[in-house]
Structure 1
Amino acid sequence: MKLLSYIMPLTLLLLSGCVSQYSITEKELEGYLSDEIHFEIKEGNQLFGIEMRINNIDVSLGHKVDTMSVTADSIVKVRNPLVPFKAKMKTTFEAEPWYDADSHSVYLKQLRLVSIESNPKDIEKAVKQVAPQMMGFLTHFLETQPVYILDTSESNQALIAEMTKRIEVKPGKLKLIFDE
């Protein structure tokens, strides 16, 4: 019995040491966003309207302190009788990721639009006119949807989810922190 009382704390110490280094990589975030987040808007009618769909998302972590950069490739269609157009857009946002311990999810806050590029280039003026409305939809979407959820049906992640209190942004990863 005395031996068991020594082994249990040692086992817990070893287990906590193993999970204390858990982090979420850029590739894991990109994979989650590609699989779970489907952003598509259609606004307007047959004559006037906007359609936007995200095709690809790239994530960069830690290029600035406490910052996650999200670059989204989108296809944009604008319908109007005078100058209808279709363009590819690349938008880059920066945001501060935060961890919600209740839902075991990572969210973004304080989203800032950093850049917009369009192809073809000659319609960049037209894109910039509709960009605020489109960016408003995308910003609201990214701030209200989790960008990553720990899978509590998997035993290791369930344990990590219960222990995690906050996250820290490090170059290339989000480090999960277990203490306050």
Structure 2
Amino acid sequence: MKILNITLCSLLLLLTGCVSQYSITEKELEGYLSDEMHFEIKEGNQVFGIELKVNDIDVILGRKANTMSVTAATLVKVRNPLLPISADLTATFEAQPWYDASNHSVYLRNLNLVRFESEPKHIEKAIGSIAPQLMGFLTQFLETQPVYVLDTKKSNQALMAEMTKRIDVKPGKLVLVFDE
């Protein structure tokens, strides 16, 4: 009986140690965003319209305190009979990630556009007039969709999901915090 108690206590301590160190890496966030977030807008008709599609998302955590940097590479096509435009846009946002315990998800708030580039470069002036609308679509999307969801069907993540109260941003990772 004593051996069983010692074994159970050791196992509990081991599990507690593993649980207290759980984090989500930049690569895990990028993988989730690539697999789960499909951002595409098509508006207008065959003559006048706009298409916007996010092709790639990069994440940097903790370069600034409590900040997640999200860079979205986006393909933009503007249809019009006078000057059709096709460009690759790169927009970098900084935001504060936060954890919603009710649905076990990480969201972004206070998005701030910090860099905007286009390729080809000479398109920037033409795109400049519609850039605020395009960035508005992307900002709205990133603020309303989770950027990561703990998978409660996996036993280890289900346990983490129930125990997590908030997250801390550290360089290269989001650390799940279990106490207030």
CA deviations 1:75-114 (Å, max 9, x no partner) are 1001122211100111101100000111111100111111
- Supply the distance in 1 between the matched residues of 2:94 and 2:129 (Cα, whole angstroms): 21
CA distance in 2, matches of 1:113, 1:47: 31
Match of 1:128 in 2: 128
Deviation of 1:163 after TM superposition, in Å, equals 0.8
Q: Which residue does 2:95 correspond to in 1? A: 95
Give the aligned partner of residue 149 of structure 1. Answer: 149
Q: Where do 1:15-54 residues align within 5 Å?
A: 15-54=15-54
Q: Partner of 2:69: helix, strand, or coil?
A: strand
Q: Secondary structure at the match of 2:130?
A: helix
Distance (Å, rounded) in 1 between the aligned partners of 2:125 and 2:3: 75
TM-score (norm 1): 0.94
Output the TM-score relative to the length of structure 2: 0.94
User: 1:110-163, CA deviations, whole angstroms, 9 ceiling, x for partnerless residues?
Assistant: 111111110111110111111111111111111111101111111111111111
Secondary structure of the residue aligned to 1:125 is helix
Give the deviation of 1:10 after TM superposition. Answer: 4.6
Partner of 1:35: helix, strand, or coil?
A: helix
Note the aligned Cα RMSD (angstroms): 1.4
Looking at structure 2, the residues matched to 155 and 178 of structure 1 have their Cα atoms a distance apart, in angstroms, of 17
Query: Secondary structure at the residue paired with 2:129?
Result: helix
* Cα shift at 1:18: 1.2
Q: Which residue of the partner structure matches residue 80 of structure 1? A: 80
| Number of equivalenced pairs | 180
Listed as ranges, the gaps of 5+ residues in structure 1 are none
Unaligned 5+ residue runs, structure 2? Answer: none
Q: Tell me the distance in 2 between the aligned counterparts of 1:50 and 1:112.
A: 24
